[in-house]
Chain A
Amino acid sequence: MGRKLTNHPLYTIVFLSFVLFVVIPVAYTLGTALFTDGSFGTNIQLLNLDTFSLLAKSCIIAFFIALLSTFFGTILGFMLYKTNIKFRNIFKILLLIPLFISPYILAVAWKDFFFIFFNDTNLISSYIGVILVLTTIFTPLSMIITGSALSNIDAQLEESGFMITSFRMVILKIMLPLIKPALITSFVLVFIFSISEFSVPAFFGVKLFTTEIFTQFSAFYNHSLAILQSGLLIVICILLLFTEKQNIADAPFLSIGSKGTDNKLYNTKNRNILSLLFMFGWLSISVVFPFIILFVQSFKNGASRFIQAFELLLPTFANSIGLAFSAALIIVFIGFIAAYYSAYQSGTKTIKSFDWLLLIVFAIPSTILGISLIKFYNQPGLDIIYSSYAIILIALAGKFSFISSKLIGNAIRQIPNSLDEAAQIEGISSFTRLRKILIPLILPALFAAFIISFIFSLGELGTTIMVYPPGTEIMPIKVFTIMANAPQSLTSSMTLIVFSVTLLIISGFYFLMKPLIKNYGFAND
């Protein structure tokens, strides 16, 4: 269906805007940084064996994190989405908490934990520490991905398995193969997230590829080498996504079910206590311990630090929340347009290239995205963008539209085509079909994409700190700049406050949206 782009004015506008506002700046800077002054020639020689062995080391670490996260995530996903284990709905929410907290904070809490209880931080300040902390952070992500895939399995497939073989074999030979796309998606996403994570290895003093790039940036100010090195990282991410693109595209990850397949729940029976122990154990490790440390540090000298932290952060709330809100709206809009045309007009070349552009910008390290935007937008004529919040919105839209388009795209793919075709035959215009059929059906996914974009935008630091307009107060930047020299109690207090505010706003959104989502009467649970 190779229709011309002019047939889709909305799509064309969004696509061209994305190219104009995000892709061209990045391409422009990367191009000039790499190829001017012959720096490419000199820098390519610096990519020596050491660079590649470091890259290999980073890959191995990321591999273990991805493997462990997917392993534990699948176990948790199975227990929470496929069994009737007690308190499962509470667990489902509590276990997600690490995703909302800056990895740096968790690293700090963990180190203090090791120091308080073992009087030794050597164990945690190592590759093992990086793996441990990042695994606890990314396991919830794997849990949602595999969990929703598990609950989408048609119960009959499992039941017919029971006719032939044991419970264990049904899990191994039927259920796990069925959710293979989700397992791969989980592995690949966690791998990409962890290989580009900087704050945790930096805090533990572990030398990895991201810390090396950072050194080039901040000790040597060698932009073009840093960009070249990031290029390697981007290539790895893209190769991984490319080899598994088919699987990832098909994986119903993070989908909020609307198909309404029967989800079969198992009784944990005699393994009940064991399962609960495992749940509580994981909850303790990933949430309770770090939080105890944060609380102890915040309040060990009374509440005054907490109040001080609140006063410091107060002026940032309105700004940051407004920004994250606008950014989330834009991100969901771009994600929706990209996903919609990709699902309904598959095959058109420009549409495929939109998917790829979203992906590539997503894989660019924050600092490089920041520098690209500065170099491009800091021109006399573009002041309206560079010296306003627009630059932050552009940065956030560039960073997170990929995730939102994936989320929404998977939801759209779950809606049977016939629902749209039936309306088409009745003579409903494509705009009305979008408004009255498709959007209401994927509303839960749109909402989820909005919330996730909101959380990410609210916490984004790496790019925002490069481009935020002078004189504005932004929450994560405030926390970050104060954290450095402030007493631990202040830092912990600020973390708790940021966390509570995020949680409060999300709950607010949820209660506002709940009646809308429930009304359609097909919500899965």
Chain B
Amino acid sequence: MIDINNITLSYGDKPVLQDFALNFESNRLSCLLGGSGCGKTTILRLIAGIETPEKGTIVIDNKIVTKDGQILIPPHKRNIGFIFQDLALWPHFTVYKNIAFGLIERKEKNIKETVLKMLDFFGIQEQAEKYPHQLSGGQKQLVAISRSLVLKPKILLMDEPLANLDVKLKRKILEHIRNLKQSRTLGIDLTIIYVTHDHKEAFAIADKVVVMDEGKIEETGTVEQIKKSENRFVQYFLEY
């Protein structure tokens, strides 16, 4: 589904990824797990097409989307959703407009119906006319997820979206995310890549976990496999 081949990328003089390779299977929820600065967010940005590598290719659905410093297919033609760490809700739009904006610009039909259905699914229909700064942290989270899903992406990239939430809310939203995969109510098949530094979060939802450190993969596998890993870094990382 998504193949990352021999990617090299640096910020200024600082190399982030070197000859990095990784692939994700479709309709699975994969977690990229690692400490800050390990390159996990960069991988999401590369897949999305808002970061250009110096070398290497990225293939989505057998199509080369990025090759050696060139974006061959721009972000919006990749059929992806991206949930940013800061959520990036447009502060000057209402909740409704935040979700509808992409649909309007794509000149879709039945926009209102689609948006309301999405709001309903996440139980935030009452917030429709509010502005982002009037929402609680969890509600913002749900708006950001709705905004991405409403465009029916095949891939959903999530960059530590739950970092600042309390445990209860986190659980509720993780539940939502897990349901999403199987959800037919929204009529989408989803490949989710979820970036986090919190192994509990990862273990709660992941089909597959990739543990990273300093731009390198330390271990990949199912939750069970990771838990039993012999890798020193993985063991150390899971202790905390």
**A421–B82 contact, CB under 8 A?**
yes
B92 at the binding interface (Cβ < 8 Å): yes
CB distance from B137 to the nearest CB of A (A): 14
B131 at the binding interface (Cβ < 8 Å): yes
Contact string against B for A residues 413-439, beta-carbon threshold 8 Å, 1 for contact and 0 otherwise: 000101101111111110010001100
Residues of A contacting B48 with CB < 8 Å? 421, 425
Chain A's interface size range is 20 to 34
Residues of A contacting B237 with CB < 8 Å? none
Q: Nearest chain-B residue to A418 (Cβ)?
A: B88
Residues of A contacting B49 with CB < 8 Å? 425
Contact string against A for B residues 56-91, beta-carbon threshold 8 Å, 1 for contact and 0 otherwise: 000000000000000000011100111011111011
**A419–B88 contact, CB under 8 A?**
yes
Known A424-B76, A521-B131; contact A418-B105, beta-carbon cutoff 8 A: no
Residues of A contacting B76 with CB < 8 Å? 424-428
A130 at the binding interface (Cβ < 8 Å): no
B30 at the binding interface (Cβ < 8 Å): no
Residues of B contacting A521 with CB < 8 Å? 91-92, 131, 133-134
CA distance A419 to B84 in the complex (A): 9
**A428–B92 contact, CB under 8 A?**
no
**A426–B133 contact, CB under 8 A?**
no
Interface residues of A in 1-42 (CB under 8 A from B): 1
B52 at the binding interface (Cβ < 8 Å): yes
**B102–A520 contact, CB under 8 A?**
no
Known A426-B102, A427-B102, A427-B106; contact A421-B92, beta-carbon cutoff 8 A: no
CA distance A428 to B102 in the complex (A): 7
**A260–B105 contact, CB under 8 A?**
no
CA distance A452 to B39 in the complex (A): 43
**B91–A441 contact, CB under 8 A?**
yes
**B86–A416 contact, CB under 8 A?**
yes
Residues of A contacting B133 with CB < 8 Å? 260, 521-522
Residues of B contacting A423 with CB < 8 Å? 90, 101-102
CB distance from B80 to the nearest CB of A (A): 6
Contact string against B for A residues 259-285, beta-carbon threshold 8 Å, 1 for contact and 0 otherwise: 010000000000000000000000000
**B91–A260 contact, CB under 8 A?**
yes
CA distance A151 to B52 in the complex (A): 36
A487 at the binding interface (Cβ < 8 Å): no
A440 at the binding interface (Cβ < 8 Å): yes
**B82–A428 contact, CB under 8 A?**
no
**B88–A422 contact, CB under 8 A?**
yes
**Most B-side CB within 10 Å, residue of A425, A426, A437:** A425
**B91–A258 contact, CB under 8 A?**
yes
Residues of B contacting A429 with CB < 8 Å? 105
Known A427-B77, A441-B92, A521-B131; contact A418-B84, beta-carbon cutoff 8 A: yes
**A520–B88 contact, CB under 8 A?**
no
Contact of A422 (CB < 8 Å), options: B82, B105, B131, B134: B82
Interface residues of B in 97-117 (CB under 8 A from A): 101-102, 105-106
A-B contact pairs, 23 of them (CB 8 A): A418-B87, A418-B88, A421-B50, A422-B82, A422-B84, A423-B102, A425-B75, A425-B76, A425-B82, A426-B76, A426-B101, A426-B147, A427-B106, A428-B102, A436-B101, A437-B90, A441-B92, A519-B92, A520-B92, A521-B92, A521-B133, A521-B134, A522-B133
B-side residues, CB < 8 A to A, are 48-50, 52, 75-77, 80-82, 84-88, 90-92, 101-102, 105-106, 131-134, 147, 151
Of all A-B residue pairs in the complex, the 9 with the closest CB atoms, nearest first, are A427-B76, A418-B88, A426-B102, A520-B92, A418-B84, A422-B88, A521-B131, A522-B91, A425-B75
